[in-house]
Structure 1
Amino acid sequence: MSSLSAAVVTTEAEPAITRTAAAEPPTAAGQEQAEALRRIGAEATRRDAGLPADRRPARIGTLPVKVTFTDAYEKVGEEFRRPMWGLLGLGGDDVSPVGVDFADTSPTFSVVGPPGSGRSTTLAALAVSLLVSGTRLVVLAPRESPLRALGNHPGVRLITATEPTVEEFTEALESGSGPRVVMVDDADLFVLPDIDQNLRSLAQSGKDRGIGLVIATTAETMTGAMGWLGALKRHRKGVLLGPQSVLEGDFIGARLAHAHLRGRRPGRALTVEPRSGELISLQIPETTLD
């Protein structure tokens, strides 16, 4: 059984909004106003110390520049630590865990981005959290991929062939029992494979069979998606890493602005929050599989 560990990273924070202003010497009136605001803040803090969390103003946090899988998963509530729920990262105004529920809202999911943008790392975070919660995985990794390190895990069936046969895939999918998720890294190599009908069936009705499907691929592949990839694309569920065009928002059912294409950091992604339906930014946790 392979061990799963998270890389140690720094936790420097990125401010959500940066404002610049010319420095001005403080005036007596300005000092009095600042002191008055401090008194008001202290009084409000004392007055509302016992106020329930659901009655407090919404918290606006800042996304970390980097975060480990361990630190991110520690924030996941017990209600989400169940089969078929996988961790994507930390995001939203409150910088809380954002995940994929393969048993409910997202039976299929696409991780879309250019090479080197963190697609495999995103799959690794999903894989670890799914395995921890008791979900079995069938992993297709036709190229060198961090996911190949999971090959000795008892809850994983690994296929590295570039052209897996129907028999090989069916045997891996049907081995064992319980909830399962099929993970396809570098899905651009499976545009029209021999197992096209098998994967198309999962994309169309895998939820009814208790099987989720998640892929990692490029925007170019998704743009011209045919066969099983075309069936998966129609779900419009996923996450974007380093988007190059506003048209990529269609892959996740969102409308992008040109501002979303600028200054993307490694591991920073865009997705649609499943509860609110809003487009949010999130940080993918750095996850190392040993």
Structure 2
Amino acid sequence: MTLGPGESESITLTADTSGLDPGEYTAIVSSEDGSAQETVTIGDEQTGPTFEVSIGDINTPIQPGEPIEVDATIENTTDEELTQTISLELDGEILDTVEVTLGPGESETITLTGDTTGLDPGEYTVTVSSEDDSVQETITIGDETGEQPTVTVSIGETNSPVEPGEPLEVVSTIENTGDTETTQEITLSLNGSPVDETTVTLGPGESDTATLTASTDSLEPGTYLVTVASAGDSTQAIVTVAEESDEPGDGGDGGDSESNQTVIQDNSNSQVAESTDGDITQSQAVSQSNEANVSGSTAASDIDFDSLFEDTTDD
């Protein structure tokens, strides 16, 4: 190196550390008439993973043919930007791969998926791997013929009787009796024809209520069968569309008097009907093929008590 009077210059000197053990060393820079030294450290090679992997959510149990979905978080633990391929394996077979690029200290959550078509029911090991780290979880593939989540329905109340043109409202309780979350469509039918629907999502053991409505604009006065149904259950009730009245009844005697009727059905399809008309109470066991809970009010003039009921009063 050549320098004029008072001149200075910065230079870079390098040294090969190949073969040196980790530890502290003294680096000395010397000229013909002086020297300077510094302590330098040669560290251990990185022993931990450069791309660290962890599994978050996983959709187990699943049915055969249903895709497996695994959420995995990948973290770059180094101080430089790196790109690695992340893979999903099921019992050693690669199902999916994703290439991930992360800066120093960055992390990212990815979703890996795999097809389970053709796999037998049972437990399987899923593995998510980077180039230098991996993590495993056990998943269950269920029996597709086994019990599926069941949504049961029941009718709580209706606003029957209604007059023609007045909307008919049916309040239903919906319950998920399974052990997994499910989404199902709940329908309301009137004499077998769908008239309203709603979609519910329920977790295991959860229940909810829904109000379904039907238009009565085109209906004639009379009784109708309403059905509330889920994918695997249904329940029925009889509702009444009453004659349109000009003014409320005065409760007098004769053909305009009102009679209250209640029909209750148990699991044996045996029913008991009671009717109260003034001071007369009549009852008779009746049979009905439709499974339903029925309550309603109708004009006494519309009921043939001689044929339906046995007179139990004392004259």
- Could you say which TM-score interval applies, normalised by the shorter chain? under 0.3
Q: Scaled by the length of structure 2, what TM-score is found? A: 0.19
Q: Which has the larger radius of gyration?
A: 2
Q: Scaled by the length of structure 1, what TM-score is found? A: 0.20
Structure with the bigger percentage of strand = 2
Structure with the bigger percentage of helix = 1
Q: Which has the higher contact order (CA 8 A, sep 6+)?
A: 1
